[in-house]
Structure 1
Amino acid sequence: MTTLKIPLEAPEFHKLFQEIDSDQLRRIFSEDIKPCHSGKYLHWDDLRHHTPPEGLSHREWWFGIKFSRVNMAHPLPLEDANGRAFTYSMPDPVLERVHKIDQRASGRIEISELVTNPSTRDRYVISSLMEEAITSSQLEGATTSRLVAKEMIRSGRPPRDKSERMILNNYYAMAFVRQHQREKITPELIRELHRIVTDRTLDDPKAAGRLQSPDEKRVQVVSSQGEVLHTPPPAEQLPKRMEALCRFANGEEPEEFLHPVIRAIIVHFWLAYDHPFVDGNGRTARALFYWSMLRHGYWLAEFVAISKILTNAPSQYARAYLYSETDSRDTTYFVLYNLRVIIRAIEELHQYLRRKMSEVQKIEGLLKDKTEFNRRQLDLLGHALRNPGAIYTVESHRSSHNVTKQTSRTDLQKLEKRKLLARGMLGKAYYFVSPEDLPERLRNL
């Protein structure tokens, strides 16, 4: 439910062409009107509030903009219920944002060792999975706080209500996507993904993982005032539409090159547009977006939570859908908005990682002044800071520093006594583990 109103329907290009006289058409074409105004890909509902070029009405100005957009539009295999194709375009803002994402999300340049180091990578993946699970559920009405939700997931306790169940299901769904990221997306896997997302949250449990059927009332997206914002295609079309979605998601269509990030965004749009399930369509669509990104090699997508950004302005997210539906099925609005969201999410990840690395470096600096520790212990603590959960034994420490077993044992036992290592037993042998909160423990020395 949302308070958003439907944007004013954009005048159709072919109707404008018929109403504008030939002299005015020549004038419009002489203006060399671009697809964007002041760098923005504006919808008619926004453009009508701007001042048009001298000598042109708003409708004539819109025709000039649409003319430039139509000439660069690419058809998609996604169609509306009447068989009319959706399109996407590549204006300058799209090219610029895709380039930024390519720089930051597919290669390893300037990426923190915290996410490239195998010993810490999984910790950050799990943290990101939790963040996306929580915020994606909050977009759909879950009210559980982030703190409580993370405690539930980490402790493994059962969810206490529907809100917590939604979040836990989303966490399992994101883990499912990660597990199957190299596989082809199929209707069966999408239905399984939806079953995970909606497990024990639906009024009819049998609806989990099942497409809506022609004999049931079709779901609609409505505002909080009861206005219908979106009516999805008839249920009779859903099986074939999902097959087409999978062909598109797997890169089998269209034949021309489509940038993988744009493909992932349109996969997100497509499933949400079709709304094939009785509930959980948004959460399933966002999980599919991640699947598509990971499948095409954007490994950093594992570490970003797009829904965290979306929850900051849910009306903008909804409006991006509506703009595409109310301007001749032009998905460029949705593409542009989501490219911006991805960039924001990546920037937030980089800021977070810089903060964490700065913390580690500051603590390493503090350690140099700790005269109670010898050089070997300082080296071990430096390693432990960068590798939470790392395991050390008397033998591993001995061989690393070429000392006797007794010296090695004394080093480790002192660190344990100062609560900087935790001791564990495996059979008759004991080992030492770097605690997750080691930075805090060192700060409190």
Structure 2
Amino acid sequence: MEPYWIWQQPDWPNFHWQSEALTPLLRECVQTQGQLLGMTGAVTKALNAQNELNALLQNIVTSSAIEGEQLNVGSVRSSLARRLGLERAGDNPVSPRSEGLANLLLDATRHFSQPLTVERLLEWHEWLFPEQVEELFHQHIRVGSLRGDEPMQVVSGRLDRPTVHFEAPPRQGLERQLQTFLDWFEASRHQPGLDPLLRAGIAHFWFVTLHPFDDGNGRLTRTLTDLALAQGEAQAIRFYAMSVSILEDRAGYYRALESTQKATLDITDWLSWFLQTLSRSLHKAMVQIESVLGKARFWQVHRASGLTPEQIKVLNRLFDSSGEGCEHKIRAAQYQTQANVSKATATRHLADLVKKGCLERLPGGGRSTRYRLNTCPK
């Protein structure tokens, strides 16, 4: 019988790929990664800590959102902030859930030199489901243990006629298969000729195909990918969140996995999707850091401009509400609401900000008049 799933191939898991098709994508990712690191070098230590917090927060929240779970963002931020020494950023109460997720991602991205073992994976799984052992037991989810004997399938559609998108390898032999993966993961860190970014893509695909747990496989796969990326470049991973770009192309993510899991051991298409998504993540991080640098330059110019607290508040809000450079805009009515001032005061404040070069007045008149941040003051 012809193999249907990739793990049924006789040579599984001896993956191969077409290097010539991936070389341009790899080059683009490496160059962008270097540019990102260069930009972070121009940012103060305090701002870099804030950027790291934001990237970690985005990674955790969006990785759960990929699976359809909405987290309490404030709680996760507080758990991360405390661990990063940013106590003031943690104004929201933490929860066992947020504490576990913070432990999980920081263990992967900060303790990347430690070997990945079965015991470490089981601990990750427990962090993913804290204080839910009793509840999940009734749902046949074994927290901190490998999956049970039931067939592991990803399905959709009607209960009587489901569509099977994926079926994992049988439970029998899972320990051996998982150990084979872990042995490769450790040995491949120093494998000549294997690019660290390709290694991360291979690890992502291999682990999620094994599907070793009853639940949480996707989130642990993305955490493991962050670990692999951190092992390849320990600094850059602190400032970008690949799960954000995966969520934006969630349908493409599942299509890429499904088509490769039903194919031969040539995983070129999957690696191509992975590298393109990684590239988008790196570019997003660069835009965000450029916004931070622009804000720092702006206040360096205007630190002695004699602005009111209301003006400073609105300007900071304009910077923080968007990462699109010079596209931060506001109307008089919006200023009035945000600054909590009268209409006359809002008009006067805006005119003063234009005069001092903080804002530019855009063409148009009356109530529709808009003002834009002048992020390139002369």
- What is the TM-score of this pair, normalised by structure 1? 0.58
Q: Equivalent residue for 1:187?
A: 118
SS in 2 for 1:85: coil
Q: Equivalent residue for 2:108?
A: 177
1:286: how far off? 0.4
Q: CA distance change for structure 1 residues 369 and 171 in 2, over 3 Å: closer, same or farther?
A: same
Given that 2:109 and 2:237 are in contact with CA atoms closer than 8 Å, whether structure 1 keeps it comes out as no
Work out the percentage of aligned pairs sharing the same amino acid.
18
Given that 1:293 and 1:301 are in contact with CA atoms closer than 8 Å, whether structure 2 keeps it comes out as yes
CA distance in 2, matches of 1:201, 1:233: 27
4+ aligned runs moved over 6 Å, structure 1: none
Map 1:228-377; keep pairs closer than 5 Å.
228-252=164-188, 257-370=193-306
CA distance in 2, matches of 1:220, 1:238: 15
Given that 1:221 and 1:228 are in contact with CA atoms closer than 8 Å, whether structure 2 keeps it comes out as yes
1:134: how far off? 0.3
SS in 1 for 2:173: helix
1:368: how far off? 4.2
Q: Equivalent residue for 1:127?
A: 54
1:131: how far off? 0.8
Given that 1:212 and 1:276 are in contact with CA atoms closer than 8 Å, whether structure 2 keeps it comes out as yes
Given that 1:212 and 1:277 are in contact with CA atoms closer than 8 Å, whether structure 2 keeps it comes out as yes
Code of the aligned partner of 1:292: A
Given that 1:136 and 1:308 are in contact with CA atoms closer than 8 Å, whether structure 2 keeps it comes out as yes
The structure with more helix, counted as a fraction of residues: 2
Q: Does 1:112 align with 2:40?
A: yes
Given that 2:37 and 2:236 are in contact with CA atoms closer than 8 Å, whether structure 1 keeps it comes out as no
1:369: how far off? 3.6
CA distance in 2, matches of 1:275, 1:208: 14
Q: Deviations over 1:29-54 (max 9, x none)?
A: xxxxxxxxxxxxxxxxxxxxxxxxxx
Q: Does 1:94 align with 2:94?
A: no
Given that 2:154 and 2:166 are in contact with CA atoms closer than 8 Å, whether structure 1 keeps it comes out as yes
Structure exhibiting the larger radius of gyration computed from Cα positions: 1
Given that 1:264 and 1:293 are in contact with CA atoms closer than 8 Å, whether structure 2 keeps it comes out as yes
Q: Deviations over 1:289-347 (max 9, x none)?
A: 01111112342112111111111121100011112122213222221111111110110
1:201: how far off? 4.3
SS in 2 for 1:228: strand
- What is the TM-score of this pair, normalised by structure 2? 0.68
Q: CA distance change for structure 1 residues 151 and 179 in 2, over 3 Å: closer, same or farther?
A: closer
1:279: how far off? 0.3
Q: CA distance change for structure 1 residues 237 and 106 in 2, over 3 Å: closer, same or farther?
A: farther
Q: CA distance change for structure 1 residues 253 and 370 in 2, over 3 Å: closer, same or farther?
A: closer
1:263: how far off? 0.6
Code of the aligned partner of 1:267: A
Q: How many residues align?
A: 288
Q: Does 1:143 align with 2:76?
A: no
1:211: how far off? 1.0
Q: CA distance change for structure 1 residues 187 and 145 in 2, over 3 Å: closer, same or farther?
A: closer
1:220 to 135, 146, 153: 153
